[in-house]
Amino acid sequence: MNRMSQKAAYPYIIWIVGFIIIPILYIFSYAVHDENGLTLKYVLSILWTVHRKPLFLSLYLAFICVIVCLIISIPLAIILRQVQSRIVIFLFMLPMWMNTILSILAWKLLLAPRGLLSHFLPSVSILNTVFATELGMIYDLLPFAIIPIHTAFAAIDEDVIRCAWDLGANRWQVFCKVMLPLARDGIVSAIVMVFVPALTSFVVSDMLGGGKVMLIGNVIEQEFTNLMDWHLGAGLSLVLMVFVLLSTFILDENEKNEYE
Amino acid sequence: MRKMSMNRVNTFIPEWMKKFYVGLILIFLYMPIIVLIGLSFNNSKYYVSFGGWTLKWYKRLFTDEIIRDAIATTLFIAIVSAACATIIGTCGVIGIERMRSKKVILAVSNIPLLNADIVTGVSMMLVFTRFLRLGTLSVLLAHITFEIPYVMLNVIPAFSRMDRDIYNAALDLGASRAQAFFKVIMPQLWPGILSGFLMAMTMSIDDFSITYFTRGAGVNTLSTMIYTQLKRGVNPSMYSLCTIMFLAVFVLLAITNLRDFQKTN
A151, burial (CB in 10 Å: exposed 0-12, middle 13-18, buried 19+): middle
Name, in order, each residue with C-beta under 8 angstroms of B29's C-beta and a sequence gap of 6 or more.
A92, A95, A139, A142, A143
Judged against a pLDDT cut of 60, whether residue B263 lies above it is answered with no
Share of chain A above pLDDT 90, in %: 38
Check CB contact of A241 with chain B, cutoff 8 Å: yes
Check CB contact of B242 with chain A, cutoff 8 Å: yes
Task: Give the residue on A whose Cα is nearest the Cα of B260.
Answer: A86
Instruction: Kindly state whether residues A158 and A225 are assigned to the same domain.
Output: yes
**Roughly what angle, to the nearest 10 degrees, separates helices A130-154 and A49-80?**
40
DSSP assignments along B22-71, one per residue? HHHHHHHHHHHHHHHHHHHTBSSSSTTS---B--HHHHHHHH-HHHHHHH
Query: Is the Cβ pair B208, A220 closer than 8 Å?
Result: no
Query: Is the Cβ pair B95, A97 closer than 8 Å?
Result: no
Model pLDDT for residues B179-207, shown as the tens digit of each residue: 888 888 888 888 899 989 988 998 999 89
User: What is the distance between the alpha carbons of residues B227 and A203, in angstroms, rounded to a whole number?
Assistant: 9
User: What is the distance between the alpha carbons of residues B79 and B73, in angstroms, rounded to a whole number?
Assistant: 10
Instruction: Kindly state whether residues A11 and A30 are assigned to the same domain.
Output: yes
Judged against a pLDDT cut of 70, whether residue B84 lies above it is answered with yes
Tell me the mean pLDDT in the region A12-40.
90
pLDDT recorded at residue A226: 85
Residue in B105, B118, B242 nearest the CB of A221: B118
Tell me the mean pLDDT in the region B3-12.
50
Judged against a pLDDT cut of 60, whether residue B156 lies above it is answered with yes
Backbone φ, ψ for residue B42 (5° rounding): -85, 125
Disruptive mutation site among B6, B44, B114 for chain A (greatest number of A CBs within 10 Å):
B114
Report residue B121's pLDDT band, with 50, 70 and 90 as the boundaries: very high
Instruction: Kindly state whether residues A59 and A24 are assigned to the same domain.
Output: no
Model pLDDT for residues A66-92, shown as the tens digit of each residue: 999 999 999 999 988 887 677 888 888
pLDDT recorded at residue B5: 46
Instruction: Kindly state whether residues A216 and A245 are assigned to the same domain.
Output: yes
Judged against a pLDDT cut of 70, whether residue B8 lies above it is answered with no
Query: Is the Cβ pair A162, B5 closer than 8 Å?
Result: yes
Instruction: Kindly state whether residues A228 and A109 are assigned to the same domain.
Output: yes
Check CB contact of A72 with chain B, cutoff 8 Å: yes
Task: Give the residue on A whose Cα is nearest the Cα of B40.
Answer: A106
Coil, strand or helix at B1: coil
Query: Is the Cβ pair A16, B108 closer than 8 Å?
Result: yes
pLDDT recorded at residue B4: 46
User: What is the distance between the alpha carbons of residues B173 and B167, in angstroms, rounded to a whole number?
Assistant: 10
Judged against a pLDDT cut of 50, whether residue A107 lies above it is answered with yes
Instruction: Kindly state whether residues A33 and A61 are assigned to the same domain.
Output: no
For B:147-166, CB contacts with A below 8 A are 148, 164
User: What is the distance between the alpha carbons of residues B259 and B254, in angstroms, rounded to a whole number?
Assistant: 9
Model pLDDT for residues A120-130, shown as the tens digit of each residue: 666 567 778 88
Query: Is the Cβ pair A12, B126 closer than 8 Å?
Result: no
User: What is the distance between the alpha carbons of residues A62 and A57, in angstroms, rounded to a whole number?
Assistant: 8
Judged against a pLDDT cut of 90, whether residue A48 lies above it is answered with no
Coil, strand or helix at A34: strand
Check CB contact of A234 with chain B, cutoff 8 Å: yes
Check CB contact of A98 with chain B, cutoff 8 Å: yes
pLDDT recorded at residue B12: 63
Q: Report the predicted TM-score, pTM, of the whole model to 2 decimal places.
A: 0.87
pLDDT recorded at residue B147: 94
Residue in A9, A88, A103 nearest the CB of B91: A9
**Average pLDDT of chain B to the nearest whole number:** 85
pLDDT recorded at residue A26: 93
Judged against a pLDDT cut of 50, whether residue B3 lies above it is answered with no
Share of chain A above pLDDT 70, in %: 91
Instruction: Kindly state whether residues A17 and A109 are assigned to the same domain.
Output: no
Domain span holding position A161: 48-257
pLDDT recorded at residue B260: 61
Check CB contact of A128 with chain B, cutoff 8 Å: no
Query: Is the Cβ pair B99, A6 closer than 8 Å?
Result: yes
Residue in B47, B116, B234 nearest the CB of A241: B116
Residue in B89, B226, B246 nearest the CB of A98: B246
User: What is the distance between the alpha carbons of residues B128 and B137, in angstroms, rounded to a whole number?
Assistant: 10
Residues of B in contact with A5 (CB under 8 A): 94-95, 97-98
Tell me the mean pLDDT in the region A15-41.
89
Query: Is the Cβ pair B94, A19 closer than 8 Å?
Result: no
Model pLDDT for residues B22-56, shown as the tens digit of each residue: 999 999 999 999 988 888 888 776 666 667 788 88
Instruction: Kindly state whether residues A97 and A201 are assigned to the same domain.
Output: yes
For A:45-64, CB contacts with B below 8 A are none
Residues of B in contact with A150 (CB under 8 A): none
Instruction: Kindly state whether residues A111 and A236 are assigned to the same domain.
Output: yes
CATH classification number, B64-234, choose in 1.10.3720.10, 2.60.40.790, 3.30.930.10, 2.30.110.10? 1.10.3720.10
Q: How far is CA B190 from CA B80, B82, B167, in A?
A: 19, 15, 15
User: What is the distance between the alpha carbons of residues A237 and A242, in angstroms, rounded to a whole number?
Assistant: 9
Q: How far is A168 from chain B (nearest CA, A)?
A: 13
Judged against a pLDDT cut of 70, whether residue A22 lies above it is answered with yes
pLDDT recorded at residue A175: 87
Q: What is the dihedral of CA B47, A143, A20, B141, to 10 degrees?
A: -50
Judged against a pLDDT cut of 80, whether residue A41 lies above it is answered with yes
Share of chain B above pLDDT 90, in %: 31
Model pLDDT for residues B202-253, shown as the tens digit of each residue: 899 989 999 999 998 888 898 999 888 887 778 888 888 889 888 888 888 7
In DSSP terms, A34 is beta-bridged to A37
Residue in B18, B118, B164 nearest the CB of A79: B18
Residue in A1, A75, A99 nearest the CB of B223: A99
Backbone φ, ψ for residue B249 (5° rounding): -65, -40
Q: How far is B213 from chain A (nearest CA, A)?
A: 8
Most confident of A224-228, B5-9, B169-173: B169-173
The CA-based diameter of chain A, rounded to the nearest angstrom, is 73
Name, in order, each residue with C-beta under 8 angstroms of A112's C-beta and a sequence gap of 6 or more.
A118, A125, A127, B47, B48
DSSP assignments along A157-225, one per residue? -HHHHHHHHHTT--HHHIIIIIIHHHTHHHHHHHHHHHHHHHHH--HHHHHHSTTS---HHHHHHHHHH
Most confident of A22-26, A252-256, B4-8: A22-26
Residue in A3, A87, A171 nearest the CB of B12: A171
Lowest-pLDDT range of A84-88, A240-244, B120-124: A84-88
Residue ranges of domains in chain B: 14-57, 64-234
Residue in B13, B130, B261 nearest the CB of A87: B261
Residues of A in contact with B120 (CB under 8 A): 23
Model pLDDT for residues B95-113, shown as the tens digit of each residue: 888 888 888 888 888 888 8
pLDDT recorded at residue A252: 74
ipTM for the predicted complex: 0.87
Query: Is the Cβ pair B148, A12 closer than 8 Å?
Result: yes
A71, burial (CB in 10 Å: exposed 0-12, middle 13-18, buried 19+): exposed
Q: How far is CA B165 from CA A179, B92, B100, B161, B178, in A?
A: 41, 21, 22, 12, 16
Judged against a pLDDT cut of 90, whether residue B58 lies above it is answered with no
Instruction: Kindly state whether residues A30 and A53 are assigned to the same domain.
Output: no
Lowest-pLDDT range of A242-246, B46-50, B147-151: B46-50
**Average pLDDT of chain A to the nearest whole number:** 86
pLDDT recorded at residue B259: 64
Domain count, chain A: 2
Instruction: Kindly state whether residues A83 and A25 are assigned to the same domain.
Output: no
Judged against a pLDDT cut of 50, whether residue B71 lies above it is answered with yes
In DSSP terms, B53 is beta-bridged to B42
Instruction: Kindly state whether residues A61 and A95 are assigned to the same domain.
Output: yes
A236: CATH = 1.10.3720.10
